[in-house]
A and B are shown apart, each in its own frame.
Chain A
């Protein structure tokens, strides 16, 4: 299944680095978006609680 290449360490390490860098491009914005939305929701709830306490 895994092809038997000459220069295999060079080929596979290149593809591994590509997978890591591309994977980071996929995962990082998604994680950042989730964290940001959670933060904004918490801010919003805190604001609502504050308004309710004032009332």
Chain B
């Protein structure tokens, strides 16, 4: 009974009208959540936490670098789940959500690479090194750009999305490579300092802004995802009756 309800709810969510309504209602709350968490996080990162005893104030860059890196990888995992749903059940809304995730993931990856490079200059003495972590992160950016280009290359959106979904699943192999690169190879990039299971080597006084910023990035992703998906749905369904009715109501 519960399974049937869940299944019906899942498929109902896949109908354009229901999804459009949901993607219109939720984003303002998600943007507000992002604004509050980011404001607290940035304030704590710049004004509350003390400078690092070795890195000085440059360590404050990590409060945007680390959440961006985590979000770049999390976006890819969510995108792969959506791609799987889209390929197995042929749910168009899942296809759309997978496709619009790519530019958000690319932006997060770019932010991670740019801030990492800026941090690297004073700390490592170089803007860039062909180190396993940095290179695998650069590959992630190219995979995101490849997905976006592949989807845009097809006039038939559904065909383009299906081909891009296959590329998403192939590119998933890069995520464990990024995560374990610092363990598998000798890298300039340091190993994990924050552990979910086990003791972190980061001082507890430096943790709160990181938590706030990480939550802020989750809100940002959810809000941007729904807003972009709503746009793409409208664009694809522009000649359908439900969109015409919607326009009729708004005029």
Contacts and interface: CB of A to CB of B under 8 A. Distances in A.
B31 interface: yes
Given A7-B56, A11-B57, A33 B115 contact: no
Interface residues of B, number: 39
Interface in B200-251: 220, 224, 227-228, 230-231, 234-235, 238, 243-244, 247-248, 250-251
Contact of A14 (B56, B115, B227, B234): B115
Contact of B227 (A15, A18, A30, A45): A30
A44 B251 contact: yes
A7 B114 contact: no
B238 A14 contact: no
Interface residues on A, range: 20 to 34
B56 to A, nearest CB: 4
Contacts, number: 91
A21 B195 CA distance: 28
Given A3-B47, A43-B238, A29 B231 contact: yes
Interface of A: 3, 5-8, 10-11, 13-15, 17-18, 21-22, 24-26, 29-30, 32-33, 36-37, 40-41, 43-45, 47
